[in-house]
């Protein structure tokens, strides 16, 4: 089995109608149900929601000096808002889980296989 990163993308400045309390509850229940399905299917490894990109810090060395910079590494309208790490037998299975996630949360999902991390 291979590990895959399912990254959830958000668009900076994109305005959505605020959810009502009932809509938030329903959305949360759908996400919990999907994660339970992933766990039952042996796919779920870990997931997380990220803060807005302005909370990120970039750490790097430049000419031997350690530098930290506020904000994301690259300026972009889109950013990663959250992620799932899953195990799947192949890309088609990972894409199947990504389809369920995007249907559940109404956000684009990018699927990346981890390099050199396959379990038999």
pLDDT at 86 over 80: yes
In this prediction, residue 120 has a pLDDT band, given cuts at 50, 70 and 90, of: low
At 74 the pLDDT is 63
- Smallest CA-to-CA distance from 89 within 116, 113, 57 is with 113
Handedness of CA 71, 74, 103, 46 (dihedral sign): negative
Q: Which two tokens stand for residue 76?
A: 């972009």
At 1 the pLDDT is 83
Each residue's pLDDT tens digit, 22-56: 988 998 999 999 999 999 999 999 999 888 878 88
At 117 the pLDDT is 61
Q: Would you give the end-to-end CA distance of the chain in angstroms?
A: 6
pLDDT at 77 over 80: no
In this prediction, residue 100 has a pLDDT band, given cuts at 50, 70 and 90, of: very high
Q: What is the pTM of this model?
A: 0.79
At 113 the pLDDT is 95
At 70 the pLDDT is 84
CB count within 10 Å of CB 56 equals 15
Q: What percent of the chain stands above pLDDT 70?
A: 88
Q: Which domains does the chain possess?
A: 2-12+21-114 (3.30.70.1060)
């Amino acid at each position: 089995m291979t590990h895959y990163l399912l990254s959830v993308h958000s668009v900076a400045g994109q305005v959505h109608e605020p959810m009502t309390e009932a809509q938030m509850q329903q959305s949360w229940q759908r996400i919990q149900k999907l994660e339970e399905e992933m766990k039952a299917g042996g796919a779920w490894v870990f997931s997380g929601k990220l803060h807005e990109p302005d909370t990120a810090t970039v750490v790097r060395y430049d000419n031997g000096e350690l530098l930290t910079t506020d904000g994301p590494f690259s300026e972009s309208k889109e950013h990663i808002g959250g992620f799932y790490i899953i195990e799947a037998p192949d890309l088609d299975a990972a894409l199947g889980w990504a389809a369920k996630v995007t249907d559940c949360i109404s956000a684009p999902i990018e699927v990346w296989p981890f390099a050199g991390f396959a379990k038999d």
